[in-house]
Amino acid sequence: MNNLYITASARNKRSKSKDIGNYLIENIKWKTKHINLSDQNIPYLQKDSIAHMYNFKDYSKLSKKDKKIINQSNKYIKQLNKADRLIIATPMRNFGMPATLKAWFDLVVRVNKTFEIVDGQYKWLLDIKQTYILIATWAVNINSKSDYLSGQIKSLLNLMWLSNINIYSIEGTNILNQNELNEKLQQIKKQIDKN
């Protein structure tokens, strides 16, 4: 069985979302492909790459730059196709997701590749059995009025497949002292162990 582990924090040792994600990965002894989005230099979609995705422009007619965008999108979708479990560890940035994570979603939420529309109905083309979303925030509580992150991730995932989505969050990362933070991290890890 395969894990696809996506991390969106630019921080390494100090990252709380990665701390929880790494714990999960270490405790699930599956083969893991780790994509650290900060290292990826993910391109933004351009006019012609969008046209290709919606079947208005052949791949052969694309510029080198647009071909690179499509190739990257295909590569990420292939990784998703191989995954049995998806783990996304991310900070909240400006009430939503980091730009790198949004850029990744823009490349993988793709008609006729990860979902299709048949007779006006959406159909999922991925089959991922389990999904973990691990979120770190400084102050905003997940599921509060100011949380524009967890709902957006759930909606995007629901476009591509319906799966068991587990969300764990650590809030107050820049407010709590080190002992309080460690305590919270331990609580989350215990919850993960129980599930």
Ligand X SMILES: Cc1cc2nc3c(=O)[nH]c(=O)nc-3n(C[C@H](O)[C@H](O)[C@H](O)COP(=O)(O)O)c2cc1C
- Decide if residue 23 touches ligand X (CB under 6 A): no
**Closer CB to ligand X, 62 or 170, in the complex:** 170
Burial of 78 (0-12, 13-18, 19+ CB in 10 A): exposed
In the chain, the N- to C-terminal Cα span, in Å, equals 18
Cα distance between residue 109 and residue 126, in whole Å: 10
Give the one residue of 137, 142, 150, 188 binding ligand X; rule: CB under 6 A: 137
**Closer CB to ligand X, 37 or 70, in the complex:** 37
- Decide if residue 94 touches ligand X (CB under 6 A): yes
**Closer CB to ligand X, 44 or 95, in the complex:** 95
Least distance from C-beta 124 to ligand X, angstroms? 29
Structure tokens, 190: 């215990």
Give the one residue of 138, 152, 154, 163 binding ligand X; rule: CB under 6 A: 138
- Decide if residue 184 touches ligand X (CB under 6 A): no
Question: Could you list the residues that contact ligand X (CB under 6 A)?
Answer: 9, 11, 15-18, 91-95, 136-140, 173-174
